Amino acid sequence: MVRVEDRDDAGEGVLLITLDRPERRNAVDLDSLVQLVEAQRIAARCRVVVLTGEPPAFCAGADLNGVENDEFVSMLRTVLIGFTTLSQPVVAAVDGPALGAGTQLVSVCDLRVATPTSRFGIPAARLGLTVDAWTVDRLSREFGAASARAMLIAAETFTGEQLAGSGAIHRLGGLDDALAWAGEISRLAPLTIAAHKLALETRSTQRSDEHAQLVNAASALAWASDDVEEGRAAFMQKRPPRFRGC
């Protein structure tokens, strides 16, 4: 489900982590999240990490058979925070859909490379789900407040080309371009990069605890609603959902 490879052909100390469930468009389940945590442990010995997905997608989201499971939600949060707390820079290489959990994974990468037609978005409002306050804050900071609002409130998607225009995608290109950039970065001062990354992450996590509690309460209400079941059923039956707001 997750492949980990040393890519010394790209640069000394470049580690490639590949989501490898192409039959599920690399949707993440609990097992793949556990493997990502293990990959992060391995990454602690490298200089630069490149995170990608086996074609035809980067990551089409969370496997809907497990998203209500508390262990899955906790493990996803562990994976997301794990990438932000790595001392090593993480480069996303996106080609194809990066939706839901895919966009969350992209948002925790330090640098982002994507093909022009790659798609990003959070379709939670189409499924009756919510993402947590930490993710909302992260999306706003990394993708820009306007794009984050459109993703979260209107379930809008954006292409790599569109997000490159706003700076959310740093470079347009494919996996080879991301590996080449990682190779360049691997030759920079690692302690400097680690210090800068720590400073950037410390700044990005400051927010009101009271506000976070309110958002978490609203999120819990949504997760407990009948609309969660309706969203899943509609998705499986390939029909428009009929949400009742309860």
DSSP H or E segment with residue 196: helix 190-204
User: HSE-up of 94 (CA within 13 Å, CB side)?
Assistant: 37
Predicted local confidence at residue 66, as pLDDT = 58
For residue range 140-171, what is the model confidence (pLDDT) as tens digits? 999 999 999 999 999 999 999 999 999 999 99
For residue range 59-93, what is the model confidence (pLDDT) as tens digits? 999 987 756 678 999 999 999 999 999 999 999 99
Percent of the chain with pLDDT over 70: 95
Token output for 109:
């990468």
Output the average pLDDT for the chain. Answer: 92
Tell me how far apart the alpha carbons of residues 230 and 244 are, in angstroms, rounded to a whole number: 9
Q: What are the Cα distances from residue 93, in Å, to 179, 197, 231?
A: 8, 19, 30
Stretch 169-194: mean pLDDT: 95
Asked if 127 and 154 count as a contact pair (C-beta separation under 8 A), the reply is no
Token output for 226:
């009948």
DSSP H or E segment with residue 216: helix 209-223
For residue range 228-244, what is the model confidence (pLDDT) as tens digits? 888 889 988 999 998 98
Tell me how far apart the alpha carbons of residues 100 and 114 are, in angstroms, rounded to a whole number: 16
The answer to whether residue 209 scores a pLDDT higher than 70 is no
Q: What are the Cα distances from residue 11, in Å, to 83, 123, 143, 145?
A: 20, 36, 28, 35
155 C-beta neighbours (distance < 10 Å), count:
15
Stretch 162-186: mean pLDDT: 97
Torsion angle, CA of 32/159/55/171, rounded to 10 degrees?
A: -90
Token output for 50:
């490149």
pTM score of the predicted model? 0.91
Predicted local confidence at residue 28, as pLDDT = 96
For residue range 2-15, what is the model confidence (pLDDT) as tens digits? 999 999 888 789 99
Predicted local confidence at residue 208, as pLDDT = 56
For residue range 120-140, what is the model confidence (pLDDT) as tens digits? 999 999 999 899 999 999 999
The pLDDT confidence band at residue 23, using thresholds 50, 70 and 90, is very high
Tell me how far apart the alpha carbons of residues 59 and 53 are, in angstroms, rounded to a whole number: 6
